[in-house]
């Protein structure tokens, strides 16, 4: 007369102790702990990005080695530092943070992220150098994401480039003469606005504000060390 | 050694955890309005609309003491199926009225899509194989008249043709349609096709109006006379009209209150799960290593030299480097063979739930660790310790060229070869200190029993100790012991009424006397008997009720969607106390199995053979599997055991759901939570449960499964 549910891992929240060295299951413990903590005490609010950026002074940058990007995620106003980890055979730079996020930039244009909630798996590069000379026509760019079933989906957008403008920006105490290029991409149900501030003669994008994807909002990248 | 013991607060992808995570999701496709029967509908009546494809929802409704809990799955865009458990006071027994505990199963199929002028049209069978309390069939049409306003009209038979009935219009075709046979055949649980669309018919209809995004008002004219309920004084039926208010609390939760037939107030709640999107916003795992680019060969020919192969310690150094790079993802190097231009690596993956992601990360680790002259990576993931599942051959130059290409996933898949990792070409010397050889865990467990009329929800909670000792390549000793701390499964007093050999129906006695319980203790051997062949021998205490010897061989080419298997088990029934002793019943069971992975994500399995009660027959299983690991499916087993001997329900059947825990938490983990729901546990068509059956062990790394998730290669 009785139907049964035989549950492999259980159907209830159980409090209790545990132990073991089985690598296959240890991750669950860590997840549970993090989850429990989140329920009991909300995470500390991140320090405002303006405050963090103000602390990045030329003197402090001089103490560091190697190229460095300071990134600000607009959603949640989180700040992080990224170091250059690899340059691919095709010239794409991959920058990594200490907390397991990486950003891949093709001539300063975001073409991939890893370790975010919804990653940009791949994207076409943008013709920034031509746009800085006012010579870039509308361009079709593909942006690829993983959906909830782990299938790759492609959002194709037409990107147009605004006429370049010469502007002066202040970056960590240094004034820089740069060219500002605006990129407007429309299609696949979204209108995306990106901005780049670059030095075309050196091929360096000193600053940019780029869209991560449907879940991520914009990220602002400041090149702290070339 | 492995990681130090960690503490765990919670185990399982349990309901409590799921509910909290789904609450936090951004608004997406809304839940459709559900009827009190747990299908897309109005108050009691169905509509022709469907839930979004793949949706799973649980609805509970209470009215006049009648409680219905329905699990509905949108099997395909057009087909939905529901399983319902109802507790209905006074509706059973005569002359003394008792509570009826009823299980019913519904299907609905949408024949026509809604057009600009044309309504959607669906046909449905309600309670198509139960004991018949809700037995009814209908054809229904629904149309959106204005934004938020939907109208529905339909014709019903059976229970849905019990009020305002007229002569069955189908009787024009065949006079037999005019009358509906009563009762149900034998012991229930078989499709009552001889009754479908027969007897008097009646019309029903209704409207639903979404006042705003959250609030929906609904009204219907019902063709259900509630004959038995009114006759036994469960409720009064004053009018054919019912009204309801539905409130969408969150994208996955709906609450409703309704007035039934002018006399009864009902409450209902629906919780939905959408396997097609990921819960939570947490990351799957930290960023992988980038592919390390090699120096230009013309400018730096020295870096491409193969002189490193002459160093005696080269393999040892590279092995420890690779192991170091794999460790953060929960992978271990199980073997390495190096040539000047080719590396073969065996990997044990304990951490990543996705085969392509595991292979992709191994490939990137190799690009970071190996000298530039090594051009070809042969990656051999082990399905279980010592059992090579596949050899994935990747070119290092392709990795370097395609890492950031927008079409890089498809391009690398097209250039990657999947080979059978059998024979000396893929053998690798085992590192001497492959650790840990002994793994163990002590964790909480929960066991749940549903739908016992004496107590529809019973559960046990306690601790389970598992251990595994790897003795040699493919040979291991595993065991698990369980101790209950709190629970009431041992209070089952309902003795088996089975008239055949009690191969499963004595579970109440196992629950009652089996504490503490030795669940399993087996010596296992997994091996490759030949090309495309996989073998398994398991001996010992195989499961809670049986011990003995189980042997299996599987034919499954890596690129094939078809697998064929043979299994033989010599088993003896274990003592009720689940310690070392046995009972006197022993038997030989075995099956020939065919497995097929369809291109649309459906998996079909057919097993033909001899079951535990020495009955011969076949099992058909169909599962829908989502790319992220969710599975929802069902199975039926028909054997030569006569329905009369099988008892209530006539034959074995059930539904099953598997939730990957990574889907719930957003972290990389191979753990999953599974539940099998059988309306009845009896003795016909029962199989022995053995851990490590080959098809499920092996197929995750084979081409068909890898292709489905290939997007995660670069993740």
C-alpha dihedral sign at A114, A117, A122, A123: negative
pLDDT of residue B445: 87
Helices (H) and strands (E) in chain B, counts: 11, 31
3-state secondary structure of B695: helix
Q: Give the chain B residue whose CA is nearest to the CA of A15.
A: B9
- Residues in chain A with CB shorter than 8 Å from the CB of B292 are 86
Is A7 within 8 Å of B446 when comparing Cβ atoms? yes
What burial class does residue A119 get, using C-beta atoms within 10 Å of its C-beta: 0-12 exposed, 13-18 middle, 19+ buried?
Answer: buried
H or E stretch covering B323: helix B314-326
Mean pLDDT computed over B339-368: 95
pLDDT at B23 over 70: no
pLDDT of residue B132: 77
Task: Give percent of chain B above pLDDT 90.
Answer: 74
A23 vs B335: which has the higher pLDDT: B335
The neighbouring-strand residues paired with B108 are B80, B124
pLDDT of residue B433: 61
Is A100 within 8 Å of B287 when comparing Cβ atoms? yes
DSSP character at residue A117: S
Mean pLDDT computed over B187-205: 89
The candidate with the shortest Cα–Cα distance to B121, out of B153, B166, B96, B146, is B153
Is A122 within 8 Å of B406 when comparing Cβ atoms? yes
- Residues in chain A with CB shorter than 8 Å from the CB of B670 are 24
pLDDT at B284 over 50: yes
CB crowding A138-165: b at 16 or more within 10 Å, else e: ebebebbbbebbbbbeebebebebeebe
Q: How far apart are CA A11 and CA B18, in angstroms?
A: 10
Are B352 and B285 within 8 A, CB to CB?
yes
3-state secondary structure of B654: strand
- How many C-alpha atoms does B463 have within 13 Å on its Cβ side? 13
Pairing state between β A78-87 and B56-63 = unpaired
Is A19 within 8 Å of B5 when comparing Cβ atoms? yes
What burial class does residue B194 get, using C-beta atoms within 10 Å of its C-beta: 0-12 exposed, 13-18 middle, 19+ buried?
Answer: exposed
Are B447 and A7 within 8 A, CB to CB?
yes
Helices (H) and strands (E) in chain A, counts: 4, 15
- Residues in chain A with CB shorter than 8 Å from the CB of B448 are 4-7, 11-12
Q: Which of B8, B17, B468 to mutate to test the interface with A (most CBs of A within 10 A)?
A: B8
pLDDT of residue A57: 82
Is B404 within 8 Å of A117 when comparing Cβ atoms? no
Are B635 and B654 within 8 A, CB to CB?
yes
Q: How far apart are CA A177 and CA A17, in angstroms?
A: 61
Which pLDDT tens digit goes with each residue over B318-329?
999 999 999 999
Which pLDDT tens digit goes with each residue over A23-36?
544 444 554 554 44
Are B267 and B61 within 8 A, CB to CB?
yes
Is A106 within 8 Å of B1 when comparing Cβ atoms? no
Q: How far apart are CA B189 and CA B184, in angstroms?
A: 9
Pairing state between β B215-221 and B602-610 = unpaired
Q: Which of A25, A89, A114 sits opposite B671 (nearest CB)?
A: A25
Q: How far apart are CA B590 and CA B607, in angstroms?
A: 9
Alpha-carbon dihedral angle through residues A96, A98, A101, A107, given to the nearest 10 degrees: -20
Is B290 within 8 Å of A94 when comparing Cβ atoms? yes
Task: Give percent of chain B above pLDDT 70.
Answer: 93
Which pLDDT tens digit goes with each residue over B52-85?
999 999 999 999 999 999 999 999 999 999 999 9
Are B481 and B516 within 8 A, CB to CB?
yes
Are B391 and B418 within 8 A, CB to CB?
yes
Q: How far apart are CA B693 and CA B568, in angstroms?
A: 12
pLDDT of residue B493: 79
C-alpha dihedral sign at B99, B105, B111, B113: positive
CA A202 and chain centroid, separation = 24
Q: Which of B1, B4, B10, B275 to mutate to test the interface with A (most CBs of A within 10 A)?
A: B10
pLDDT at A2 over 50: no
Is B712 within 8 Å of A24 when comparing Cβ atoms? no
Is B17 within 8 Å of A121 when comparing Cβ atoms? no
- Residues in chain B with CB shorter than 8 Å from the CB of A6 are 447-448, 675-676
What burial class does residue A20 get, using C-beta atoms within 10 Å of its C-beta: 0-12 exposed, 13-18 middle, 19+ buried?
Answer: buried
Q: How far apart are CA B289 and CA A114, in angstroms?
A: 10
pLDDT at A112 over 90: yes
pLDDT of residue A12: 30
H or E stretch covering B149: strand B149-158
Is A6 within 8 Å of B401 when comparing Cβ atoms? no
Which pLDDT tens digit goes with each residue over B659-677?
888 777 777 778 888 889 8
Q: How far apart are CA A165 and CA A182, in angstroms?
A: 9
Q: How far apart are CA B232 and CA B226, in angstroms?
A: 10
DSSP character at residue B314: H
The stretches of A118-161 forming alpha helices (DSSP H) are: 128-132
Pairing state between β A217-225 and A152-161 = unpaired
3-state secondary structure of B556: coil
Mean pLDDT computed over B381-404: 95
The candidate with the shortest Cα–Cα distance to B713, out of B419, B415, B421, is B415
The neighbouring-strand residues paired with B247 are B215, B255
Note if the bond before B382 is cis, omega within 30 degrees: no
Separation of first and last alpha carbons in chain A? 74
Is B7 within 8 Å of A10 when comparing Cβ atoms? no
The residues near B600 (Cβ < 8 Å, ≥ 6 apart) are none
Q: How far apart are CA B80 and CA B124, in angstroms?
A: 9
> What φ, ψ does residue B650 adopt, rounded to 5°?
70, -40
**E strands within B404-496?**
417-419, 438-452, 455-472, 475-487
- Residues in chain B with CB shorter than 8 Å from the CB of A26 are 2-3, 6
Kindly indicate the confidence band of residue B1, based on its pLDDT and cuts at 50, 70 and 90. very low
The stretches of B219-312 forming alpha helices (DSSP H) are: 227-231
The residues near B647 (Cβ < 8 Å, ≥ 6 apart) are B187, B497, B498, B499, B680, B682
Q: How far apart are CA B333 and CA B319, in angstroms?
A: 8
Q: Give the chain B residue whose CA is nearest to the CA of A94.
A: B290
Is A177 an 8 Å CB contact of chain B? no
The neighbouring-strand residues paired with A81 are A70
Q: Which of B20, B441, B449 sits opposite A22 (nearest CB)?
A: B441
Q: Give the chain B residue whose CA is nearest to the CA of A39.
A: B20
**E strands within B274-371?**
331-338, 342-349
The residues near B302 (Cβ < 8 Å, ≥ 6 apart) are none
The candidate with the shortest Cα–Cα distance to B322, out of B296, B292, B286, is B292
The neighbouring-strand residues paired with B550 are B538, B569
Are B532 and B522 within 8 A, CB to CB?
no
Are A177 and A201 within 8 A, CB to CB?
no
Q: How far apart are CA A219 and CA A210, in angstroms?
A: 5
Q: Give the chain A residue whose CA is nearest to the CA of B402.
A: A90
Mean pLDDT, all residues of chain B: 90
Q: Which of B14, B439, B708 sits opposite A22 (nearest CB)?
A: B439
pLDDT of residue B15: 26
B339–chain A nearest CA distance, Å: 24
The candidate with the shortest Cα–Cα distance to A24, out of B672, B206, B154, B583, is B672
Q: How far apart are CA B135 and CA B125, in angstroms?
A: 8
B461 vs A33: which has the higher pLDDT: B461
- Residues in chain A with CB shorter than 8 Å from the CB of B438 are 21
- DSSP per-residue codes, A29-83: HHHHHHHHHHHHSPPPPPPPHHHHHHH--HHHHHHS-S-EEEEEETTTTEEEEEE
Lowest average pLDDT, out of A28-42, A183-197, B247-261, B471-485, goes to: A28-42
Is A11 within 8 Å of B448 when comparing Cβ atoms? yes
* Size of the A and B interface in Cβ pairs below 8 Å: 306
Residues found in chain A? 226
H or E stretch covering B186: none
The candidate with the shortest Cα–Cα distance to B73, out of B39, B103, B122, is B39
Is A104 within 8 Å of B404 when comparing Cβ atoms? yes
Q: How far apart are CA B21 and CA A214, in angstroms?
A: 19
- Residues in chain A with CB shorter than 8 Å from the CB of B85 are 3
Q: Give the chain B residue whose CA is nearest to the CA of A99.
A: B286
Kindly indicate the confidence band of residue B451, based on its pLDDT and cuts at 50, 70 and 90. confident
Is A18 within 8 Å of B6 when comparing Cβ atoms? yes
A 68-97 residues inside an 8 A Cβ radius of B: 85-90, 92, 94, 96
A82–chain B nearest CA distance, Å: 13
Is B290 within 8 Å of A86 when comparing Cβ atoms? yes
Is A23 within 8 Å of B2 when comparing Cβ atoms? yes
Neighbours of B422 (CB within 10 A): 18
The candidate with the shortest Cα–Cα distance to A40, out of B20, B407, B368, B263, is B20
A187–chain B nearest CA distance, Å: 17
B280 vs B629: which has the higher pLDDT: B629
Pairing state between β B376-384 and B342-349 = parallel
Are B228 and B91 within 8 A, CB to CB?
yes
pLDDT of residue B306: 94
Mean pLDDT computed over B567-596: 97
- Residues in chain A with CB shorter than 8 Å from the CB of B712 are 146, 150
Q: Give the chain A residue whose CA is nearest to the CA of B291.
A: A88
The residues near B570 (Cβ < 8 Å, ≥ 6 apart) are B548, B549, B550, B586, B588
3-state secondary structure of B465: strand
Which pLDDT tens digit goes with each residue over A127-144?
999 999 999 999 999 999
CA B495 and chain centroid, separation = 30
- Residues in chain A with CB shorter than 8 Å from the CB of B401 are 89-90
Kindly indicate the confidence band of residue A188, based on its pLDDT and cuts at 50, 70 and 90. confident
Is A3 within 8 Å of B673 when comparing Cβ atoms? no
């Amino acid at each position: 007369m009785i139907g049964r549910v035989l549950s492999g891992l259980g159907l209830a929240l159980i409090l209790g102790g545990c132990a073991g060295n089985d690598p296959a299951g240890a991750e669950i413990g860590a997840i549970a702990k993090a989850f429990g903590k989140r329920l009991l005490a909300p995470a500390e609010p991140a320090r405002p990005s303006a405050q963090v950026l103000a602390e990045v002074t030329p003197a402090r940058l001089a103490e560091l080695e190697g190229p460095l990007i300071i990134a600000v995620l607009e959603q949640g106003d989180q700040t992080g530092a990224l170091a250059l980890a690899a340059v691919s055979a095709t010239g794409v730079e991959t920058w990594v943070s200490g907390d397991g996020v990486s950003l891949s930039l093709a001539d300063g244009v975001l073409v991939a992220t890893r370790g975010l909630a919804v990653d940009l798996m791949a994207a076409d590069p943008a013709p920034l150098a031509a746009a800085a000379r006012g010579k870039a026509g509308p361009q079709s760019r593909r942006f690829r994401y993983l959906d909830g079933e782990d299938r790759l989906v492609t959002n194709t957008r037409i990107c147009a480039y605004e006429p370049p403008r010469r502007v002066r920006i202040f970056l960590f105490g240094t004034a820089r003469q740069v060219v500002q290029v605006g990129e407007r991409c429309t299609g696949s149900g979204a209108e995306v606005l990106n901005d780049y501030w670059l030095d075309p003669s050196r091929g360096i994008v000193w600053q940019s504000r780029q869209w991560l994807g449907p879940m991520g909002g914009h990220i602002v990248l400041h090149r702290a060390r070339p | 050694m492995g990681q130090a013991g960690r503490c765990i607060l919670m185990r399982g992808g349990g309901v409590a955890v799921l509910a909290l995570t789904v609450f936090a999701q951004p608004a997406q496709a809304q839940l459709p309005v559900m009827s009190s029967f747990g299908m897309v509908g109005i108050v009691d009546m169905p509509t022709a609309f469907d839930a979004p494809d793949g949706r799973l929802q649980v609805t509970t409704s209470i009215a006049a003491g009648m409680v219905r809990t329905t699990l509905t799955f949108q099997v395909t865009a057009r087909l939905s199926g529901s399983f319902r458990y109802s507790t209905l006071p006074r509706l059973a027994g005569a002359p003394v009225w008792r509570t009826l505990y009823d299980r019913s199963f519904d299907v609905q199929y949408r024949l026509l899509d809604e057009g600009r002028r044309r309504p959607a049209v669906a046909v449905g069978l309600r309670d198509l194989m139960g004991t018949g309390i809700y037995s009814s069939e209908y054809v229904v049409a629904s149309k959106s008249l204005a934004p938020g306003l939907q109208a529905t009209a339909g014709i019903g038979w059976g229970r849905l043709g019990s009020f305002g009935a007229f002569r069955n219009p189908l009787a024009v075709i065949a006079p037999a349609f005019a009358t509906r046979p009563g009762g149900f055949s034998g012991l229930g649980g078989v499709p009552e096709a001889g009754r479908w669309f027969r007897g008097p018919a009646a019309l029903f209809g209704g409207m639903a109006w979404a006042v705003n995004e959250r609030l929906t008002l609904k009204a219907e004219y019902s063709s259900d006379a509630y004959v038995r309920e009114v006759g036994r004084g469960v409720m009064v039926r004053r009018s054919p009209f019912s009204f309801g208010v539905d409130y969408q609390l969150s994208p996955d939760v709906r609450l409703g209150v309704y007035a039934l037939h002018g006399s009864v107030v009902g409450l209902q709640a629906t919780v939905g799960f959408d396997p097609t999107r990921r819960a939570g916003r947490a990351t799957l795992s930290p960023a992988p290593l980038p592919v390390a680019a090699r120096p230009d060969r013309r400018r730096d020919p020295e870096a491409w030299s193969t002189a490193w192969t002459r160093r005696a310690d080269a393999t040892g150094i590279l092995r420890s480097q690779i192991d170091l790079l794999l460790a953060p993802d929960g992978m271990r190097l199980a073997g390495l063979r190096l040539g000047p231009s080719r590396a073969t690596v065996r990997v044990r993956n304990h951490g990543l739930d996705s085969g392509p992601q595991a292979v992709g990360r191994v490939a990137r680790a190799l690009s970071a660790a190996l000298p530039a002259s090594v051009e070809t990576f042969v990656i051999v993931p082990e399905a279980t310790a010592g059992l090579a599942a596949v050899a994935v051959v990747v070119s290092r130059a392709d990795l370097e060229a395609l890492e950031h290409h927008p079409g890089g996933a498809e391009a690398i898949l097209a250039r990657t070869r999947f080979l059978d990792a059998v024979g000396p070409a893929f053998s690798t010397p085992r590192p001497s200190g492959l650790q840990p050889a002994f793994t163990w865990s002590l964790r909480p467990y929960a066991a749940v029993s549903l739908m016992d009329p004496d107590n529809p929800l019973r559960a046990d909670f306690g601790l389970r100790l598992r251990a595994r000792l790897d003795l040699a390549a493919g040979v291991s000793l595993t065991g698990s012991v369980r101790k209950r701390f709190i629970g009431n499964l041992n209070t089952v007093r309902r003795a088996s009424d089975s008239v055949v050999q009690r191969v499963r129906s004595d579970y109440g006695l196992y629950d009652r006397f089996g504490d503490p319980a030795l669940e399993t203790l087996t010596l296992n051997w997994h091996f490759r008997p030949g090309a495309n062949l996989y073998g398994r021998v398991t001996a010992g205490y195989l499961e809670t009720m049986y011990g003995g010897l189980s042997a299996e061989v599987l034919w499954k080419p890596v690129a094939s969607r078809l697998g064929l298997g043979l299994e033989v088990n010599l088993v003896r029934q274990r003592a009720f106390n689940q310690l070392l002793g046995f009972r006197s019943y022993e038997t030989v069971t075995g099956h020939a199995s065919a497995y097929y992975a369809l291109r649309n994500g459906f998996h079909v399995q057919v097993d033909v053979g001899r079951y535990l009660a020495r009955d011969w027959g076949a099992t058909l299983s169909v599962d829908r599997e989502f790319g992220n690991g969710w599975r929802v499916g069902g199975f039926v087993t028909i054997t030569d055991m006569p329905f009369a001997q099988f008892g209530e329900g006539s034959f074995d059947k059930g539904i099953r759901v598997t939730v990957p825990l990574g889907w719930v938490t957003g972290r990389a983990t191979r753990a999953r939570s599974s539940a099998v729901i059988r309306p009845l546990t009896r003795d016909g068509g029962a199989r022995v449960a053995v851990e490590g059956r080959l098809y499920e062990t092996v197929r995750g790394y084979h081409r068909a499964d890898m292709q489905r998730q290939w997007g995660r290669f670069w993740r």
